Each structure stands twice: as structure tokens, then as C-alpha cells.
Structure 1
């Protein structure tokens, strides 16, 4: 069932423009400001509300509220499982108010699932490519950090190698190729961890002057000020933390930066746009199943 396709087109175009601003801010300031996320959310709901009032069809705003509610839960799940930073989670909530494009609960469900699948799959590929580019751009620091981690964990790597041999021998004698695959995955996992931590330590941890600290910045190590210790946390620095640091701390602060994730939201939304305009002009995604 079609829901005011021309109105949806306007909503999509303005949303793409908003996300481009988020991408720009993310790369420039290493964060998505609250004003970008909240203004997008307010715009989406206000747009839906005004259209519902003038068209006397309140399903338009109700679907927006429903999408926001579902993505609010998902965004918090991703945030507290440490998949998303705070800005990314807020951007996801705002997009949740936008992507219910039809009056069909089934099509809206498929659109939401497709968006989340694209977000996570593109995010994995994007994160890998971005981290590899960081490693190559800081090769000397990265290789030094990686060798150090491998050396410090050589006993675990030896154990890991013995597990690999055990799985390969078992797979060979039992003629089970799955055991070979499991053994290879188990062997590779520690190196992926060492690689990730090495990229983080050598490329994403930087000293920042106290006057450039912002709410949500991640401390790379704790700061002791008089009788108070500010410890690293997933929520990042608070206003009171920054105020305390500026008043009583004179050194630069070691901050852990994140990977700008907003381009993945843009890519995932573009997939939905391409599906609409190339294959499913009425958003009838059920035809693909």
C-alpha cells in the first residue's frame, strides 16, 4: 500500500542532507553533535505531525512514533553493548522516526530489518577498511605496538597454535572439514584482538589539551585530581568531570578517539533509496521474499 510517496520523497531528501551534515561533523570534530541528531528527530516528527494534521491522516505521525520507539530500544541495546557511541545511537533513534515509509506493518518491519542488516554489515566492512588505513598510515607505531602485544602474549599464542594443531589433526582423521574451519577461526581470533587493540593504541589514542575537551570524550587512562579519580568509562567525560579537570589539571589529557561511523548510516539509507527507485517503487518489499 502506498503512503504519500511524494511526501516520503521530501522526507528522504531532507534526511540525506541532514546525514551529510552529520558525516561532515563526525569527521571534523570526531563526534556527531547533539544539535544534529535532535534537530533531525524534531524535524522528522514535526514534519509527520503537520502533514497528518493537514491531511487528516494520523497514521503518518503514528508510524513515525512507532519507528522512533523501536529504534530507541535498538539504539540503547547497541550503545550499552558498546557497538555504538552516544552520537551514533542518537542518530539511529532519529532515523527510526523516518524510515517507516508505508502503512503496511509488514513492509515497515522489512524496511527496518533491512536497514539494521545494512548498518551492521556495512559497519563491519567499513570498520575493517578504516582500521587498515589507519594502520598503514601509522605503520611504524602500529607494528611496534602489535609486536609488543604478540611478545607479551607468546605463551597464549603457543597454546592457540596447539589448539589449531589439535583441531586440524582431529579434522583430518575424522574427515570433518568443519573442525578445520573451527580450528582456523579459534587460531585467528586472538590475532584479530591484538590487531584491534594495536590500532586503537597506536592510531586512536591522542593527547588533547584541556581546553579542547568535550562532553563524551573517552579517557584512555584515569586522571587523579586531589582526592578524586576520574576513570575511563563508556559514557565518557561529563560536564562536571571537564570542569574539575580544567580547574585542577594542567597537563594534556590522553583521549581515545572513535572511528567516524556516520558514513555507514548514509550507506544504509542509500540502499533503501536505491531499492525504492530501482526495484520497489511502492516499497512492497514482500515481493523479494
Structure 2
């Protein structure tokens, strides 16, 4: 019964969080904190009747995802909203105690989240590159001109490998895959540098925003690029009020929360998908 209640609450929060993330690139704190406290609170209430392993499971899940969220946040991979939402999902899914096969559900959720997030992120980047092609295309040209010899070499290698591939089928995969990865990473880098960095006033800043450039006052660095916290925003606001700055450069992130929603739906209803995923891992390691 408690699992159904947790699932309903989680889906409701994920729908709201996905909408706000797509709309304003922000996940409200009330949604994240409500999910965390509701998950742990419901587990605590049911633990009185059904055993303390229920609340222990939630605490274990919360702790594991708290540690992951801490790493992602402080390495500037995720913003504060995504990190808090991950903690909440840890409390919802939990880690079954005593440990059994269902204890791995939290692992499958995380792996599915990363997989869907990667595909979703690339699709979103292609969309942004097309929408902001006036910014994207000139930067592509600059990169190609800057490393012209390298790109010509890749073109020659690709042509030769495609010819070889007619006889040796595996040759194209062995040689072209690293080249594909190189251009994929270059594409991501160009989109981030040309399409994701925007100038905003300090009034629009929120905790978890990524400061894209160091802030200078009279050639002196007053704030280095980082994930902004409350004290940083207050400092920048004072600098703007005093006339020392007019705006700051921040890097807009991809609205990642919809990936949470799809990953959780798969965990709830996609048993065959998870079974196939487990089978793939067994084939790799056994």
C-alpha cells in the first residue's frame, strides 16, 4: 500500500517539476522538499505497523542519491534542482533492507536515467543548434578553420575506411567510431559555448545557476565561475546596485527533469526493459 502511495506522489511531483523545468528552467524547492519529506514521512508511518526496515530502506536510498547529487552538483554537472530531486527519488525508491534483488531497483533507475538523459540531452542540443543556428554555424566554421588539417585528415581516413569496409566489414567500425565520438564531443562543446551562455541581470539569478565567466572589477577577479549559491547572488546583486556590473554570463542547462519522469515510468511499468538490461549486464560480466 505504501509503495502505491509513494509512486503516486512521485509521479505527481515529477509531472510538476518537468513542466516548470521546461517552462522556466527551474525546479521549485517546495516540490523537491515535499517529495523528500513525504517519502520519508510515509515510510516512517508505515514502519510503525510493518517494521522499521521500510524507513531504513528510504534512508539508505536517500543517502546513496545524496552522495551522488553532492558529486554532480559540486562538479557543475547538475543544478541544485536536479540534485534535490535525485535525493527525493532515492527516498521514494529506497534500497530494500534486508538486501535482495529488489534492492537493485535504485541502480536500474539511475542507469536508465543516465541513458535516457544522454539521448534526451543530444536531441535537445540538436534542437537548440537549429533554433540558434545564427550563433551555432559561425562557431562551427571557426572550429573547422582553426583545425583544418585535422579535419581534412579525418575526411581522407573516412573515405579510405569506407572503401576498405566493402571488403573488411569491421574496419569502418574500428576506425570511424573514435572519429564519430570526436565530432560528437565537438558538437556538444560548440553548442554549449555558443548557444547556452546568456547575459542576465542579477535579478534573474537563482541558486544553482552556473556562472559561465569570472566577474572582474577593475581587472580584479571578485567571483570565479562556479555554481552560484545564495551568498554569491547577494554579492552580485550588490555589485549591480553599486554600478560595478550590469549583467553576468550564465550557462543555461538542459531541462533534465523530464528524464527523471521517463526513467521512473520505465522502472514502474517496464519490467521487460529492466530484465533485458539485467541480461545485457550478465552477458558482459559472465
User: Which TM-score applies when normalising by structure 2?
Assistant: 0.82
Q: In the alignment, what sits opposite 1:121?
A: 115
Residue 216 of structure 1 is aligned with which of 203, 208, 225? 208
Matches within 5 A, 1:95-244: 95-100=89-94, 105-161=99-155, 168=161, 172=164, 177-226=169-218, 227-233=220-226, 235-236=227-228, 238-244=232-238
Aligned positions, number: 275
* 1:220-254 deviation per Cα after TM superposition (whole angstroms, max 9, x unaligned): 22221244432212x23524443443334342222
- CA distance, structure 1, for counterparts of residue 147 and residue 256 of structure 2: 31
The Cα shift of 1:56 comes to 5.0
Structure 2 CA distance for partners of 1:266 and 1:143, relative to 1, 3 Å: same
Verify: 1:44 aligned to 2:39, yes or no: yes
Structure 2 CA distance for partners of 1:162 and 1:236, relative to 1, 3 Å: farther
Task: Answer whether contact 1:135 1:142 (CA < 8 A) is retained.
Answer: yes
- CA distance, structure 2, for counterparts of residue 32 and residue 253 of structure 1: 21
Task: Answer whether contact 1:210 1:245 (CA < 8 A) is retained.
Answer: no
- CA distance, structure 2, for counterparts of residue 150 and residue 85 of structure 1: 32
Structure 2 CA distance for partners of 1:177 and 1:79, relative to 1, 3 Å: farther
Task: Answer whether contact 1:52 1:61 (CA < 8 A) is retained.
Answer: yes
- CA distance, structure 2, for counterparts of residue 60 and residue 163 of structure 1: 58
- CA distance, structure 2, for counterparts of residue 264 and residue 24 of structure 1: 12
Structure 2: gaps spanning 5 or more residues: none
- CA distance, structure 2, for counterparts of residue 121 and residue 216 of structure 1: 23
The Cα shift of 1:163 comes to 6.2
Structure 2 CA distance for partners of 1:214 and 1:246, relative to 1, 3 Å: farther
Structure 2 CA distance for partners of 1:287 and 1:187, relative to 1, 3 Å: closer
The Cα shift of 1:287 comes to 11
The Cα shift of 1:102 comes to 5.5
The Cα shift of 1:99 comes to 0.8
The Cα shift of 1:144 comes to 1.8
Verify: 1:60 aligned to 2:51, yes or no: no
Structure 2 CA distance for partners of 1:163 and 1:211, relative to 1, 3 Å: same
* 1:96-134 deviation per Cα after TM superposition (whole angstroms, max 9, x unaligned): 011138666223333112211210111111111111111
Structure with the bigger RCO (C-alpha within 8 Å, sep 6+) is 1
Task: Answer whether contact 1:49 1:61 (CA < 8 A) is retained.
Answer: yes
Residue 11 of structure 1 is aligned with which of 2, 6, 12? 6
Cα RMSD (Å): 3.3
Structure 1: gaps spanning 5 or more residues: 1-5
Verify: 1:20 aligned to 2:15, yes or no: yes
